[in-house]
Chain A
Amino acid sequence: MAKTLVDSRGTACPGPITDLLRAYRKASNGDVIELLATDPGVKADAKAWCQRTNNEVLSTVEKNGVITVEIKIMGKKG
């Protein structure tokens, strides 16, 4: 149950979700990925990505222009 920080601040869409995907590939079920981004699209995109990949958005917090999305990994097979 590791927690991984993915810092995508300053990266334009669709970069943050690609960064999330790369971290996801190294993660295990039960892990939490904390994605930091300044791209405003990340809120809806991270939610859509979780729906598609069967993972879960735990929280989305926006503070001083930085959006932090916490994602619980549960969609990995095998």
Chain B
Amino acid sequence: MPTKGISFIMFSGTADKFIPLGVLTQSAVNLGIPVSIFATGWAIQAFTKGGKDKVNRMPKEFEDMAPMLMQGLKDIKSPSWYEMIKTAKEIGDVKVYVCSMMAQALKVDTDHGLDPIVDDVVGAAAFLQMSAENDKIFI
């Protein structure tokens, strides 16, 4: 089985974009594909302590459709993006990294303020080196 993985670079912090992150991460490990997630920019807040419950902003252009989407997800009993990443970590190789530079710029306490789902705080070069063989997806 090929060991090449997928690297997701999460930049946008809007709630809609966390749905494909969760679904694609869990689906990848279902297939035995390793996943690396690099949280940077606005997405960092979701990976801070208590941050997963604050992922509720929607992009302006789809604001009118957001309630319908949220209700639809509830109707199909879709787990939250966070639960999907947690499940994915249980069953496969998933690593979550927080961007050290953006964390510093956003004044995030990387020693005590991050969610336990985060594996490490790294620089961009370190993440790209780890992801050298991976497909990279910017969300």
Co-assembled chains A and B: yes
Q: Does B31 contact A (CB under 8 A)?
A: yes
Known A-B contacts A11-B77, A12-B77, A15-B79; the reply to A52 vs B32 at CB < 8 A is yes
Q: Kindly state the interface size class of chain A when it binds its partner.
A: 10 to 19
**Cβ proximity bits B69-104 to A, threshold 8 Å, 1 near / 0 not:** 000000011110000100100010000000000000
Residues of B within 8 Å of A39, CB to CB, are 76
Q: Does B58 contact A (CB under 8 A)?
A: no
Identify the closest chain B residue to A75 (Cβ): B1
Known A-B contacts A10-B77, A12-B79, A22-B91; the reply to A17 vs B30 at CB < 8 A is yes
Known A-B contacts A12-B76, A12-B79; the reply to A18 vs B91 at CB < 8 A is yes
Q: Does A58 contact B (CB under 8 A)?
A: no
Chain A interface (Cβ < 8 Å from any Cβ of B): 10-15, 17-18, 20-22, 39, 45, 48-49, 52-53
Chain B interface (Cβ < 8 Å from any Cβ of A): 1, 23, 26-27, 30-32, 76-79, 84, 87, 91
